[in-house]
Structure 1
Amino acid sequence: MPVLPGAEPYRHEGGEVGVLLCHGFTGSPQSLRPWAEYLAERGLTVSLPLLPGHGTRWQDMQVTGWQDWYAEVDRELRLLLERCTEVFVFGLSMGGALSLRLAAKHGDAVRGVVLVNPANKVHGLAAHALPVARFLLPTTKGIASDIAKDGSEEIGYDRVPLHAAHSMRRFFRLVDGELPQVTQPLLLLHSPNDHVVPPADSARILSRVSSTDVTEILLEQSYHVATLDHDADRIFEESYGFIGRLAPSAGKEGTATGG
């Protein structure tokens, strides 16, 4: 199945500091592409993979689960660690949960973590119905393009496959138990007016991680997909400043290799 135009993965070979970006559930690299390109223009080595089952049609996602999505970002992180002296992990929504698990599992190999509207739980009565409902109803209404900015759209599915949603719910519970293992410097940016992930998820993450270097920023002008919204420039600038503080060699040519 061909990838939707604009949803392709993105990679850039830059200097010795690398960044892995993880997109969200039913979304695609398109939601993070401007962020990835901003970092690449500043000399960083960047990897923005397409998660399995995403970026084509929802039917392809119905047969994937969290193990597939996590395996993809774990593989990309290992490739970056081979090329770069320091690596950061960034994530939006479910990509935030993927990033947190990478940080918990890889420890000091991950230099820092940046999260935008990270998801931690499937909320509401629907969450409790998922184990059964997924066998009765294949999909529910989509969650893509929660964006305040006129004319800005996210490439994502208009339906949520419930088998995949059930797997994501299990993944969130797993990651929640691993949050105390996250010790890296953390920058968390979240929107008070998010119609997909409530602010409670960010509060829960901040209360459970073991990181001591923590910065929280409110994105007052944006909805869920803040990387394509009014606060996008602020996200890009704050994250680059975060990297620069922790890895002063960011953007300089160094040990990064590959083609």
Structure 2
Amino acid sequence: MPVLPGAEPYSNDGNRVGVLLCHGYTGTPQGLRPWAEHLAGAGYTVRLPLLPGHGTTWQELGRTRWQDWYAEVDAAFRELRVSCDHVFVAGLSMGGLLATKLALDHGPRVSGLVLVNPIYKHDNKLLALLPALRRVVPSFPGIANDIKKTDGEPELGYTRNPLQSMHSQTQLWAGVSRDLAEITQPVLLLHSREDHVVPPLSSAYFLSRISSTDVTEIWLENSYHVATLDNDAPLIHDESVRFIQRLSA
């Protein structure tokens, strides 16, 4: 199926420090492209894959599950490990969740985690109905483009949220959340004070359960959920480079 213009994956071959970026649910690499290009400009080897079911149609996404999305980022991570001495994983929203699972599965081979508004839990009561709703309702309204900035680039994402794949994502929340105590890697967590997609309890839950001793938490005061395309994007760029430089020196 043809990929939407602008939704293509991004790749840059740089030095022996690799960075894997994971985009969010119903989004595309476009939402992280400026970040990826900034990291490439800093000299890093960068991979930003397109997750299966994304960048085409929401119906196509509805035919995929979390195992499909994870397999894509896991393959990209393994590729980076071949050519890089250090590999950092980073992500936005569900991309942060996938990055966290990579850290759980690959342990010290992940040099550090950079998370922007990651999702591990949600307080929307409708989620409890998903197991039944997904059998009778194909989709809900989309969650893309939660951006405060009014004069910037909008997020390229679906206008509908397929419930079959949404239900699969919640299963991944449960599995990763259960094992968060096994996270020991250095963490840079950046999250928005006002986010209309992921509630503050998600990042708070993550911080309360990980075992990492090197943790930097930064509040994003001038962005909504898609902070990588919002007013605080330069802060995300600069802080992630500073974090990676410190740990890979």
How far the C-alpha of 1:123 sits from its partner, in A, is 3.0
> Does structure 1 residue 166 correspond to structure 2 residue 186?
no
Aligned to 1:32: 32
Contact 1:101/1:178 (8 A) holds in 2? no
RMSD of equivalent CA atoms:
0.7
Q: Residues 22-44 of structure 1, C-alpha deviation per residue, up to 9 Å, x if partnerless?
A: 00000000000000000001110
Unaligned runs of 5+ residues in structure 2 are none
Contact 1:65/1:168 (8 A) holds in 2? yes
Q: 1:36 is matched by which residue type in structure 2?
A: A
Aligned to 2:112: 112
How far the C-alpha of 1:111 sits from its partner, in A, is 0.3
Contact 1:8/1:50 (8 A) holds in 2? yes
Q: Distance in 2 between matches of 1:138 and 1:122?
A: 21
TM-score with structure 2 length normalisation? 0.98
Number of corresponding residues: 248
Q: Distance in 2 between matches of 1:43 and 1:150?
A: 31
Q: Residues 8-56 of structure 1, C-alpha deviation per residue, up to 9 Å, x if partnerless?
A: 0000000000000000000000000000000001110000000000011
Aligned to 1:211: 212
Q: Distance in 2 between matches of 1:38 and 1:112?
A: 18
Aligned to 1:255: none
Aligned to 1:240: 241
> Does structure 1 residue 139 correspond to structure 2 residue 136?
no
Q: Residues 69-111 of structure 1, C-alpha deviation per residue, up to 9 Å, x if partnerless?
A: 1111011000000110000000100001101110011011000
Write the mapping of 1:77-88 to structure 2, written as runs, cut at 5 A: 77-88=77-88
Contact 1:89/1:113 (8 A) holds in 2? yes
Contact 2:121/2:201 (8 A) holds in 1? no
SS at structure 2 position matched to 1:131 = helix
Q: Distance in 2 between matches of 1:123 and 1:83?
A: 41
Aligned to 1:6: 6
Contact 1:9/1:48 (8 A) holds in 2? yes
Q: Distance in 2 between matches of 1:74 and 1:88?
A: 13
Detail structure 1 runs of 4+ shifted over 3 Å in the superposition. Answer: none
Q: 1:19 is matched by which residue type in structure 2?
A: V
How far the C-alpha of 1:192 sits from its partner, in A, is 1.1
Contact 1:148/1:221 (8 A) holds in 2? yes
Aligned to 2:193: 192
SS at structure 2 position matched to 1:184 = coil
Q: Residues 209-253 of structure 1, C-alpha deviation per residue, up to 9 Å, x if partnerless?
A: 1100000000000000000000000000000000010012xxxxx
How far the C-alpha of 1:178 sits from its partner, in A, is 1.6
Q: Distance in 2 between matches of 1:201 and 1:223?
A: 15
Q: 1:30 is matched by which residue type in structure 2?
A: Q
Write the mapping of 1:12-27 to structure 2, written as runs, cut at 5 A: 12-27=12-27
Contact 1:18/1:87 (8 A) holds in 2? yes
Q: Residues 160-195 of structure 1, C-alpha deviation per residue, up to 9 Å, x if partnerless?
A: 000000000111000001211110000000001000
Q: 1:186 is matched by which residue type in structure 2?
A: V
Task: Give the structure, 1 or 2, with the largest relative contact order (CA under 8 Å, sep 6 or more).
Answer: 1
